């Protein structure tokens, strides 16, 4: 098996960022990819103007690529992963205002996966209160995702880079997945298995795959150390993806790595062009 047997998509919020947003889908297509994913592209606008939504939709459709994953509004990304849904006040309000907008945008492009990033712990705020708020908002997000035929993804980040994030292990993310499914009865909350983040947390990746592949609806990769392309670090990504495949995972593998000191179009030499189309 190996890389040749995977379905890859390109994260346009970390790759091709040297280009304006509306040029990135076509750049991914020119590099041979047929599927893309995005963090919420408007970091200061959970409710962007309809013209901006329409322009991005047009750029994706005209490029001939499929949008396979989209984040709900998550605050100041790119940058330290912060999230919004568990932060009381303005950030949580922005998340709620974004839910249906993001879900409808995803539906308009046939996107079946919506990612909701937990928020950082806030000084002076009871963690239990943040968790209760998070569950309320995740329930709303899960229902919106279900309305458009999508899954809700829950992701574990990593403690070294996101020290205030409370979800920094696979078991904790799975705990949240189970809580959301119990609260909604929908069963559409799933695990986003980011092998880079989990490796940064020092987790046993083969054990994680064996335990949670059946609850995983999306996978993301970057090598470690450095969060670069496969082969720039020491993670056995090809072997790990083989294990996922053998465990029954048939979904996309998101390329969520930094291109380094080169144009993004040159950061895919580890993957022959004939294996880039999903």
176 contacts 137 by C-beta, under 8 angstroms:
no
| Pair 204, 229: CB distance under 8 Å | no
Query: Distance between CA 158 and CA 169 in Å, rounded?
Result: 7
Is 155 a known active-site residue?
Answer: yes
Place of tokens 């709900």: 72
Separation CA 122–CA 85 (nearest Å): 12
107 beta partners:
none
Judge residue 274's burial from the number of C-beta atoms within 10 Å of its C-beta, 0-12 exposed, 13-18 middle, 19 or more buried: exposed
Contact 119, 134 (CB under 8 A): yes
Among 37, 91, 203, 256, the active-site one is 256
Contact by Cβ (8 Å): 18, 262 = no
Residues ≥6 apart with Cβ < 8 Å to 9: 33, 35, 36, 37, 66, 68, 69, 252, 253, 254, 255, 278
- 207 Cβ neighbours under 8 A, 6+ residues apart: none
Name the active-site residue from 37, 91, 155, 203: 155
Task: Kindly state the greatest CA–CA separation across the chain.
Answer: 53
| Helix (H) and strand (E) counts in the chain | 8, 8
Active site residues: 155, 256
């Amino acid at each position: 098996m190996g890389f040749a047997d995977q379905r890859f998509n390109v994260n346009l919020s970390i790759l091709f960022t040297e280009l304006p947003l509306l040029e990135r889908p076509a750049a991914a297509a020119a590099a041979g990819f047929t599927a893309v994913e995005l963090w919420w592209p408007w970091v200061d606008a959970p409710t962007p103007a309809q013209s901006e939504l329409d322009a991005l939709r047009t750029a994706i459709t005209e490029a001939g690529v499929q949008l396979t994953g989209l984040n709900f509004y998550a605050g100041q990304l790119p940058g330290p992963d912060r999230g919004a849904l568990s932060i009381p006040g303005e950030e949580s309000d922005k998340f709620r205002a974004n839910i249906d907008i993001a879900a409808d945008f995803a539906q308009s492009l046939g996107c079946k996966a919506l990612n909701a990033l937990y928020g950082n712990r806030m000084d002076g705020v009871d963690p239990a209160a943040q968790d209760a708020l998070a569950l309320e908002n995740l329930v709303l997000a899960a229902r919106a995702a279900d309305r458009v035929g999508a899954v809700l993804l829950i992701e574990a980040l990593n403690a070294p880079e996101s020290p205030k994030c409370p979800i920094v292990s696979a078991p904790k993310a799975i705990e949240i997945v189970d809580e959301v499914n119990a609260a909604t009865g929908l069963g559409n909350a799933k695990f986003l298995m980011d092998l880079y983040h989990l490796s940064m947390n020092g987790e046993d990746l083969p054990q994680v795959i064996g335990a949670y592949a059946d609850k995983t609806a999306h996978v993301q990769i970057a090598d470690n150390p450095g969060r670069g392309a496969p082969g720039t670090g020491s993670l056995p990504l090809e072997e790990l993806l083989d294990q996922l495949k053998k465990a029954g995972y048939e979904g996309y593998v998101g390329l969520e790595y930094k291109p380094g000191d080169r144009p993004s179009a040159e950061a895919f030499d580890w993957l022959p062009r004939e294996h880039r189309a999903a």
